[in-house]
Amino acid sequence: MKLFGTFSGVFVPSYEAILGAVLFLILPMLTGAMGFRNMMLIVLLANTATIATAFSISDCTTNLHRIGPGGMYAVAKRSLGLAFGGSIGIQLFIAQAASIGFYSIGFADPLQKFLSQLPLFAGLVEQFGFSVLVQKQFIGTLIATTAFIAGLVGADFIVKIQMVIFIILSVSIGSILVSPLLVPLLGLPGGEGALFMKAPNMVGTGFSLGFWGAFAAFFPAVTGIDAGVGMSGNLKDPRKSLGKGTFTAIGITFLIYIGITYVFSLLNPSQLVEVDGQVPTAIDIFSGVPVIPWILLAGILFATGSSALSYFMTAPRTAQALARDNTLPRVLSFLGKDFRKGGTEPRWATVVTFLIVVPVIWAGDVTFASLIVGISFLVVYGWVNLAAFLERISGNPSFRPTGKGHWSISFYGFIITMVVISMFNPLVGIIVFTSQIVIFLLLLKYKSHNRLEGVWWGVLFSLITHAFKGMRTIIQGTKNWRPIMGVFVFGDRETESQKALEIADRISSYKGITMVNVIKPEKKDAEAFPVPESASLIEVEGDHFDAAVSSIIQSAVPGGLSMNTVLLPIDPRVDLTDLIEKIISLGRNVLLYKDGDVPEQPKAQIDVWWKGEVNGNLMALLSYIIVQSDREAGGPDRKIRMIRRLAKDEDPIRARKEMEILMTGARLRGEVVILPDDKRSIQDTILEISSETSLILIGMPGKPAPGIAKIFSLDRLFFSRELGKYKNSPPILFVKAARTMDLIE
């Protein structure tokens, strides 16, 4: 495969794509209507968008050791990941392929006018009764077929053709630039019928579309940089050539547009009058001048033809890159191959590109379709700018471009492209964005396994670190309390561990965080219980499980986001009494989960057995969190039942009022159940009253030890005797609060 340099590989394709149909067909009318001053602002503003995009391309490409084929798709994929970059690449390929059809029609438009003046052509048209549109479609198909054959021959052949076109196009543009000096020398009439005025038309004659309408009409002229960037896989030094070639093309074409705009501002307004509803083109305006119309006709033909050739190089290479990256469905993998064994040219992709081009040419009115393609290009440019912006603000140490860009330049490029899209057609913009999101979601699910790649991790990390710094200055009280749970389970107890993880998820999935730690006993098979995603595997030597858990709980964490709640396994290998006392002394709440027999038709409720506000208030808050979590997960809408068994001589009316005040003040939806004192054990009462509930919350007994040490003293009999009495109960969550939470603050 032959590789190209900056001039032939990047500059020439971009130069020819930028100086195309808009310059010859639309710019004279726009300049005459808007005046030199406003048109200069439009040219300047439009070029700032491509300059910003060029800076973004330079940032991304000079940061990469190898860019690969695909142009802007390759840049987007490296920064935004396979799923997001792939959605951009697919959209880019379709836009590139369809644009060949539009350039082919653009080629056919002036050629049809010329051919219709020839007797032989006019006779054929009259014999077969071809309309003007059908004539253009035949001519467009012919030029597209010619470009297709050139694409099959290879990039080297196309580049040679483009060098010839470059010379012809430059001569054509030069003829316009020198025309104000040339016309007087040819002795053409002056006065009111003169072609040029002595001074430029600064304010114009007025234009119904207004400034932004004229801007939208001109903007497609500057979007041709993709023709050069798309050659990234065929360059000797893409890191150097892409940025340098793109900047050079933008700079030179910007100066050309300034000069051409000035020349068109000198045109006599009488030369810009519509004839039969047709806006006069540059060829029409210079029709009375010798030689120049023929040079301009060659220029417009070769400009549009060159654009078709350029995209017959870039579109197949984008499809080839998509196929080789396994971004496309497997059935389209052939797009990455050549006809010949061992060949590198994307010839199969060229065939598919041609199959897209022909229907576009014969679609009839291609105005709406061209609008969609134009916006698709703008969306791609916008995402490339956003990619560079995200790379800059992410602070990733690996992002070290040699380009001299700045995040504000890339951000401006993103904003201006979005503004232009809204000016073109907001509805079409929404359609294009929606289609890209659908493609992205499909690729994320089937190609990236629901995992984002690229710059996103760095962006989130940067945001999180800034948030952590702010969190250090904020006190977490009851109003903003959220469960930050440290969950500890044994790797060799899969059933018990899975149940514990389920209840932990029900607590933390509603605006909380879970940090799962799987304890792997020494000499145990790690595969006995597969470690959940994002969990940590804790290998413990001997039987020092308590020390391992205690150390992890006390370990430093970024931003002070330490555990405020710990879920422990009910396992004889753990000394729960000592460990819970230690955890409580550290100011963490403790939870123990005992799985149980769920009734066949459980009531949609959670029973909270309240005995004092220390544990009771935390249980009430946890029950509310679980209810909300179940509801968001699509589960039943459970109610909370606050149950309080009275102590001896306790007033039931006062107790009920206290509980109702608690429920109302805490805004908990449910009911209060007051039970009289009886001689049965609390376990027997719970097993009777809550036998049909889905989950029971019970406080663990214990109280602060006397003295100034403030050490928590746990009832050891609870673990040695009482836990076994709940063997046949529904699932139970035992709760021990480290402090009293004020639910009514």
Domain CATH number, residue 163: 1.20.1740.10
Residue 542: how many other CB atoms lie within 10 Å:
8
What value does the mean pLDDT take over residues 78-103? 85
- Beta-bridge partners for 486: 515, 566
Are 487 and 389 in the same domain? no
- HSE (side-chain half, CA atoms, 13 Å) at 231: 38
The backbone torsions φ and ψ at residue 197, rounded to the nearest 5 degrees and listed phi first, read: -95, 170
Return the closest-CA partner of residue 371 out of 418, 326, 325, 427: 427
Q: Which of 529, 556, 591 is the last residue of a domain?
A: 591
Are 528 and 628 in the same domain? no
Q: Please give the residue range of the domain that contains residue 181.
A: 6-446
Domain presence at residue 397? yes
652-665 and 613-632 helices, crossing angle to 10°: 50
Q: Which of 446, 468, 502 is the last residue of a domain?
A: 446
| Lowest pLDDT segment from 499-503, 506-510, 560-564, 698-702 | 560-564
The backbone torsions φ and ψ at residue 734, rounded to the nearest 5 degrees and listed phi first, read: -85, 135
- Label residue 534 by pLDDT band (50, 70, 90): confident
Residues 99, 313: contact at Cβ < 8 Å?
A: no
CATH code of the domain in which 720 resides = 3.40.50.620
Burial of 168 (0-12, 13-18, 19+ CB in 10 A): middle
C-alpha separations of 45 from 14, 41, 51, 246 in Å: 19, 6, 10, 17
Specify the pLDDT at position 1: 58
User: What is the Cα 645 distance to its own chain's centre?
Assistant: 56
The Cα 731–Cα 719 span in angstroms is 17
Are 429 and 533 in the same domain? no
Specify the pLDDT at position 105: 82
Are 522 and 586 in the same domain? yes
**Both tokens assigned to 637:** 């809408």
| Lowest pLDDT segment from 9-13, 95-99, 476-480, 690-694 | 476-480
C-alpha separations of 182 from 167, 177, 178, 203, 497 in Å: 20, 10, 6, 25, 89
Specify the pLDDT at position 614: 85
- Label residue 525 by pLDDT band (50, 70, 90): low
- Beta-bridge partners for 540: 521
Helix boundaries (H) for 595-705:
613-632, 652-665, 682-689
What value does the mean pLDDT take over residues 317-323? 90
- pLDDT over 80 (residue 480): no
Domain presence at residue 452? no
User: What is the Cα 121 distance to its own chain's centre?
Assistant: 52
Residues 135, 393: contact at Cβ < 8 Å?
A: no
Q: What is the pLDDT of residues 394-408, one digit of tens each?
A: 877 767 777 677 889
| Lowest pLDDT segment from 104-118, 211-225, 270-284, 566-580 | 270-284
Domain presence at residue 696? yes
- Label residue 190 by pLDDT band (50, 70, 90): low
- pLDDT over 90 (residue 697): yes
Domain presence at residue 516? yes
- pLDDT over 60 (residue 189): no
- Label residue 708 by pLDDT band (50, 70, 90): very low
**Both tokens assigned to 139:** 């001519």
Specify the pLDDT at position 399: 72
The Cα 49–Cα 378 span in angstroms is 10
- pLDDT over 60 (residue 103): yes
Residues 364, 105: contact at Cβ < 8 Å?
A: no
The Cα 709–Cα 692 span in angstroms is 43
The backbone torsions φ and ψ at residue 98, rounded to the nearest 5 degrees and listed phi first, read: -65, -35
Are 379 and 440 in the same domain? yes
Cα torsion through 93, 95, 97, 102, rounded to 10:
-170
Are 567 and 660 in the same domain? no
Are 527 and 651 in the same domain? no
Specify the pLDDT at position 275: 60
- Label residue 718 by pLDDT band (50, 70, 90): low
Domain presence at residue 1? no
Q: Which residues contact 229 (CB under 8 A, 6 or more apart)?
A: 10, 14, 57, 71, 72, 75, 242, 246
Are 71 and 194 in the same domain? yes
Domain presence at residue 109? yes
27-62 and 210-218 helices, crossing angle to 10°: 60
**Both tokens assigned to 574:** 């753990």
Return the closest-CA partner of residue 315 out of 89, 140, 164, 67: 89
What value does the mean pLDDT take over residues 204-227? 77
Residues 177, 259: contact at Cβ < 8 Å?
A: yes
- Beta-bridge partners for 568: 592
The mean predicted confidence, pLDDT, of the chain is 82
Q: What is the pLDDT of residues 237-279, one digit of tens each?
A: 888 888 889 999 999 999 999 999 999 998 887 777 666 556 6
Domain presence at residue 469? no
Q: Which of 572, 591, 610 is the last residue of a domain?
A: 591
- pLDDT over 50 (residue 705): no
What value does the mean pLDDT take over residues 220-225? 82
Are 249 and 267 in the same domain? yes
- Label residue 709 by pLDDT band (50, 70, 90): very low
What value does the mean pLDDT take over residues 135-150? 87
Are 507 and 360 in the same domain? no
Specify the pLDDT at position 565: 92
Percent over 70 (pLDDT), the chain: 90
**Both tokens assigned to 30:** 């726009």
- Label residue 707 by pLDDT band (50, 70, 90): very low
**Regarding predicted confidence, which is higher, 632 or 466?**
632
User: What is the Cα 234 distance to its own chain's centre?
Assistant: 28
Are 506 and 649 in the same domain? no
Residues 36, 275: contact at Cβ < 8 Å?
A: no
What value does the mean pLDDT take over residues 471-487? 76
Domain presence at residue 124? yes
Q: What is the pLDDT of residues 564-620, one digit of tens each?
A: 899 998 888 888 888 888 888 888 999 999 888 777 777 888 999 988 888 888 898
Are 547 and 491 in the same domain? yes
Specify the pLDDT at position 738: 87
Specify the pLDDT at position 120: 79
Taking CB atoms within 8 Å and a gap of at least 24, the contacts of 611-614 are: 611/644, 611/645, 611/699, 612/699, 613/662, 613/740, 614/699, 614/737, 614/739, 614/740
Q: Structural domain tally of the chain? A: 3
Residues 19, 256: contact at Cβ < 8 Å?
A: yes
